[in-house]
């Protein structure tokens, strides 16, 4: 089907049903079972870390993961709670309670659907990689610090920002529960060492099961899911619709925008990573629609925000997944656990789950990127460091916003450096053919200027400086704009002001080899008509002939 005739709503799952075979199902079944097992401790851990219950984390993974696979635009995407969401969701839950989190999630879902409908899925490419790496690493630090209290068995008050949490950890470190710390260290060791033995059984599951058995066998007094949350309900969740009012919507708009932005970025980034691993191509707009619907519906069963999970999606591909059926199987695995084995999860030590999330944090940070950026580009390193620091010191919104602002300013500085307006002479001209000045007879009183690079607001004053630097009194000025790919309103205004001044002084202005976009701007603004369409020339030869004609007419007029 051609892209231009594709319907607005056309999930990848529907597209791949045609030609689906038994061999595909067996591959998807194996991948779904594997990813379901991997997702189990993560869903529980992310639920706790987000300020809600383990059961809500599981149901978010079940319903959100199912809907993302059914309705999304990626062949291999696995949806569910993710580490990137943890700082944002925990802050919303702490400030507004679960009802506020549920409403913000549903509003974010509606925004994602709207973004997909407006075909904004390609916006990810406009976010610089240093910004993404910076806030991802910042989130990793926040997750790491957020899990240290449970890892050490400390009971600390909830703090808003990472620096305050670090201060609390250092202040209360003397109250560490030795048993919890042993469980945490053992679980973390298993997470990193187990894959060296085998990857057939997920390391996080081995870590949680082994440390749970150890804690029960030795009767250690450590916090568990049972002691803190009363276990995980094994039945189906009830229907939940958060209170809605105009004032409540206004109150939750900022969190909803943050959740939508982060969910959109992470889901499309995950889908892009999957395409690179599996040599496939996702539909970014459909992915946003699928993610949006999942986030609108998941809170109705007590869940919270979900998005594409990069690590689980990568594991899905490595396990042999061929279609979104693997994601559906993953959701069913979690459902079977909740309905039939949730009671066993009540004994899991929270220190073990903290170790799982600390492992996630250590892996999700773009630590190698810091050294790479330092060696490759100090400017990009500055953007990376700014996004990282702002995320850790303040929050994700400030980190992303500040990183984008700094990146935009630095980009404009780079582009300003590319743009040049200089006097054009036979000695400094590098052109050949009809656009070259070398070997051409330039009449007395004719001065040429060459433009290079985009003429936009950050570089517009360079035209004024170049004209001011020329001390002579020319009769004709030729502007060679062959290498100006674009011009904005400020650049156009700079040319207009220069033309008006030269027009008052009796100086004629000719423009050569102008490209379509700058010509369009000048034509639509009326400046092209004021300069005179006859004064736009295709090359230097034509411009010099035009200059001679103007000079001849002027001389005849004097006589």
The pLDDT of residue 65 is: 97
CB 76 within 8 A of CB 28: no
Q: How does strand 420-424 pair with strand 446-452?
A: antiparallel
Question: Six-digit token pair at 45?
Answer: 């851990």
291/266 Cα distance (integer angstroms)? 11
Beta bridge partners, 451, equal 421
Helix (H) or strand (E) holding 76: none
Considering Cα of 536, then 541, then 545, then 550, what sign does the dihedral take?
A: positive
- Residue 471: predicted pLDDT: 64
> Dmax over Cα atoms in the chain, in whole Å?
114
pLDDT, position 248:
95
pLDDT single digits (tens) 375-419 = 888 888 999 999 999 989 987 778 878 888 888 788 777 777 778
End-to-end CA, the chain: 72
Q: Please give the pLDDT value at position 3.
A: 42
Q: Other C-beta atoms within 10 Å of 30: how many? A: 15
User: Which CATH number applies to 420-558?
Assistant: 3.30.750.24
Q: Cβ distance 183 to 208 under 8 Å?
A: no
Indicate the SS3 state at residue 202: coil
Q: Residue 516 burial (CB < 10 Å; 0-12/13-18/19+)?
A: exposed
Give the number of C-alpha atoms closer than 13 A to the C-alpha of residue 250, restricted to the C-beta side.
3
Residues in the chain: 559
Q: What angle do CA 33, 36, 38 make, to 5 degrees?
A: 110
Q: Which residue has the tokens 């869940």?
A: 303
pLDDT at 416: 74
Residue 79's DSSP bridge partners are 308
Beta carbons within 10 angstroms of residue 472's beta carbon: 8
Task: Quote the radius of gyration of the chain (alpha carbons, Å).
Answer: 31
**Angle value at C-alpha 51, between 46 and 57, nearest 5 degrees:** 40
Among 146, 130, 168, 169, CA closest to 399: 130
- The residue ranges of every structural domain in the chain are 22-131+138-156+163-218+237-365, 367-418, 420-558
Q: What is the pTM of this model?
A: 0.80
Tens-digit pLDDT profile for the chain (559 aa)?
344 456 668 899 998 888 899 999 999 999 999 999 999 999 999 999 999 999 999 999 999 999 999 999 999 999 999 988 999 999 999 999 999 999 999 999 999 999 999 998 887 767 888 988 898 899 899 999 999 999 999 988 777 688 889 999 999 999 999 999 999 999 999 999 999 998 888 899 999 999 999 999 999 999 999 999 998 988 889 899 999 999 999 999 999 999 999 999 989 989 998 998 899 999 999 999 999 999 999 999 999 999 999 889 999 999 999 999 999 999 999 999 999 888 889 999 999 999 999 999 998 888 899 999 998 888 889 999 999 999 899 877 788 788 888 887 887 777 777 788 888 888 888 887 777 888 888 888 899 999 888 888 766 677 777 777 766 688 999 999 989 999 998 889 888 988 998 889 888 999 999 999 999 999 999 999 999 999 999 999 899 999 999 888 766 554 4
Taking the C-alpha atoms of residue 86 and residue 98, their distance in angstroms, rounded to an integer, is: 14
Q: How far apart are CA 179 and CA 365, in angstroms?
A: 28
What SS3 state is found at 475? coil
Count Cα neighbours of 258 within 13 Å in the Cβ-side half-sphere.
24
CA distance 298 to 305: 8
């Amino acid at each position: 089907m051609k892209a231009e005739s594709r319907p607005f709503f056309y999930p990848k799952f529907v597209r791949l049903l045609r030609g689906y075979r038994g061999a595909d199902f067996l591959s998807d079944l194996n991948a779904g079972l594997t990813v379901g097992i991997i997702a189990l401790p993560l869903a529980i851990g992310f639920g706790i870390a987000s300020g809600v219950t383990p059961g809500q984390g599981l149901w978010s993974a079940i319903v959100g993961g199912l809907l993302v696979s059914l309705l999304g635009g990626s062949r291999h995407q696995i949806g569910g709670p993710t580490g990137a969401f943890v700082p944002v969701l925990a802050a919303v839950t702490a400030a507004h309670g679960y009802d506020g989190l549920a409403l913000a999630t549903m509003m974010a879902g509606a925004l994602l659907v709207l973004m997909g409908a407006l075909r904004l899925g390609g916006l990810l490419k406009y976010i610089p990689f240093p910004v993404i790496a910076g806030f991802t690493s910042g989130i990793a630090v926040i997750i790491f610090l957020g899990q240290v209290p449970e890892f050490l068995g400390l009971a600390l008050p909830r703090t808003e920002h990472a620096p305050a949490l670090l201060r609390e950890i250092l202040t209360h470190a003397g109250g560490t529960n030795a048993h919890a710390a042993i469980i945490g260290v053992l679980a973390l060791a298993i997470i990193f060492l187990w894959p060296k033995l085998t990857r057939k059984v997920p390391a996080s599951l081995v870590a949680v099961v082994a440390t749970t058995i150890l804690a029960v066998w030795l009767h250690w007094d450590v916090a568990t899911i049972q002691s803190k949350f009363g276990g995980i309900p094994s039945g189906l969740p009830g229907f939940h619709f958060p209170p809605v009012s105009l004032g409540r919507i206004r109150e939750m708009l900022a969190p909803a925008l943050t959740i939508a932005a982060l969910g959109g970025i992470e889901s499309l980034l995950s889908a892009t990573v999957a395409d690179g691993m599996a040599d496939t191509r996702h539909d970014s707009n459909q992915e946003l629609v699928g993610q949006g619907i999942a986030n609108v519906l998941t809170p109705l069963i007590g869940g919270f925000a979900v998005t594409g999970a990069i690590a689980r999606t990568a594991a899905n591909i490595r396990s042999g997944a061929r279609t979104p059926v693997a994601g559906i199987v993953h959701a069913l695995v979690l459902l079977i656990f909740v309905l039939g084995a949730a009671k066993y999860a009540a004994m899991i030590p929270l220190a073990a789950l903290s170790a799982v999330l600390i492992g996630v944090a250590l892996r999700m940070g773009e630590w190698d990127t810091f050294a790479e950026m330092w060696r490759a580009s100090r400017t990009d390193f500055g953007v990376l460091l700014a996004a990282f620091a702002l995320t850790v010191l303040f929050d994700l919104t400030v980190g992303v916003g500040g990183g984008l602002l700094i990146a935009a300013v630095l980009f404009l500085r780079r582009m300003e450096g590319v743009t040049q307006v200089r006097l054009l002479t036979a000695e400094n001209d590098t052109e050949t053919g009809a656009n070259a000045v070398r070997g051409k007879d330039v009449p007395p009183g004719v001065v040429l200027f060459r433009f290079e690079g985009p003429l936009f607001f950050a570089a517009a004053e360079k035209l004024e400086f170049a004209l001011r630097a020329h001390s002579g009194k020319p009769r004709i000025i030729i502007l060679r704009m062959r290498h100006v790919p674009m011009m904005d309103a400020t650049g156009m205004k700079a040319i207009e002001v220069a033309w008006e001044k030269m027009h008052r002084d009796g100086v004629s202005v000719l423009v050569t080899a102008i490209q379509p976009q700058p010509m369009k701007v000048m034509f639509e603004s009326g400046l092209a008509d004021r300069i005179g369409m006859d004064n736009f020339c295709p090359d230097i030869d034509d411009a010099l002939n035009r200059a001679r004609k103007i000079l001849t007419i002027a001389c005849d007029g004097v006589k």
